[in-house]
Amino acid sequence: MKFTTLTLLAGVAASVSAAALTPKAAALEKFNLEVSSWDSRLNGKSITASNNKLKVSLSDSTEDEGCNGPATLFVQYQALFLYNGDYESFQQVAVDRSEDGQDQLQYFTNLHGKPQPFQIKPWSVDEYSRNLLFGDVLLGLTSFWACPDSNNEDTLSIYLDSGFGEPAGQHDCVILQLKTVPQGAPQACEYSEFNNHP
């Protein structure tokens, strides 16, 4: 009887752990991200997602053939997710804290576990400005960098501004904020990944 009870409890725990990996987005606010910047080329542009990166395009094009248009996201328990559907969102956004990553915003499939040394929390949305925030922000402002993609000069990848200037090795970057734009009829999509990991 003890063995049966323990087995049952283990099964329940495993089910709960698996369920926790896949957030339920049905009741959460979904939004697009819009650039706020002094640079007229970028101001008002929408953030897209492809090949494990968040990006902004100067030409309004998207590199993800399967997901056209702006990326749709949501915040749950201070974690930021791409919206794959009300009951199956598993692509999670993180800050790549590695030396090569230089605080770039990337996404990964959390069913495979969190790549190291990714930082996944804390994300939030300021209730007044509607800006996307990261970390313990007192002034309600988080800045980001948009830096030219090495594979496509028309596309800029997004990095978190850690207060030390442009990300190392990057040039011609633009400082910006990201404003959340609520979506009443959000578009669900599974965004492209490069070999399942950034």
Compute the distance between CA of residue 121 and CA of residue 10 in angstroms, rounded to an integer.
Answer: 28
Q: Is 30 a domain residue? A: yes
CATH of the domain at 77: 2.80.10
Range of the domain at 176: 23-182
Contact (Cβ atoms closer than 8 angstroms) between residue 181 and residue 34 = yes
Q: Is residue 188 part of a domain?
A: no
> What mean pLDDT value characterizes the chain?
85
pLDDT digits (tens, 9 = 90+) for 11-45: 434 433 444 455 666 669 999 999 999 999 999 99
On whether residue 195 sits in a domain, the answer given is no
Helix (H, G, I), strand (E, B) or coil at 142: coil
Quick check: is 13 in a domain? Answer: no
Which helix H or strand E contains 181, and what residues bound it? strand 174-182
Name the pTM for this structure: 0.84
Total domain count, the chain = 1
User: Is 81 contained in some domain?
Assistant: yes
What are 143-197's pLDDT values in tens digits?
999 999 877 778 999 999 988 899 988 899 999 999 999 999 999 999 998 854 4
Would you say residue 150 lies in a domain? yes
DSSP assignment letter at 131: B
